[in-house]
Amino acid sequence: MADDKTKRDFRERDRASADEDYEVRYFAKQHRITPEQVLELITEHGNDRKMLEREARKLHG
């Protein structure tokens, strides 16, 4: 059966949400930093995922 094109997913995959605990934990695990560091990055640099990934690499070294 074909996908139903009328059902759309409106999540913003290019943004990281500080409100979603699972998303913060996943991002922290993915970049080997603490969840607290992820929240600090989001506070400091916003929630653009590419920017956060770049800054997380700087933290991890």
The pLDDT, as a whole number, for residue 52 is 93
The pLDDT, as a whole number, for residue 4 is 72
Q: Tens of pLDDT along the chain (61 residues)? A: 567 777 766 666 778 888 889 999 999 999 999 999 999 999 999 989 999 999 999 987 6
The pLDDT, as a whole number, for residue 18 is 83
The pLDDT, as a whole number, for residue 1 is 52
CB under 8 Å to 22, separation ≥6 — which residues? none
Q: Which residues does residue 15 pair with via DSSP β-bridges, in sequence order?
A: 48
| Integer Cα distance of 20 and 32 in angstroms | 18
Q: Which of 6, 19, 1, 18 is nearest to 52 (CA)?
A: 18
The pLDDT, as a whole number, for residue 40 is 95
Give how far Cα 10 sits from Cα of 7, 13, 38, 57, Å.
Answer: 10, 9, 24, 28
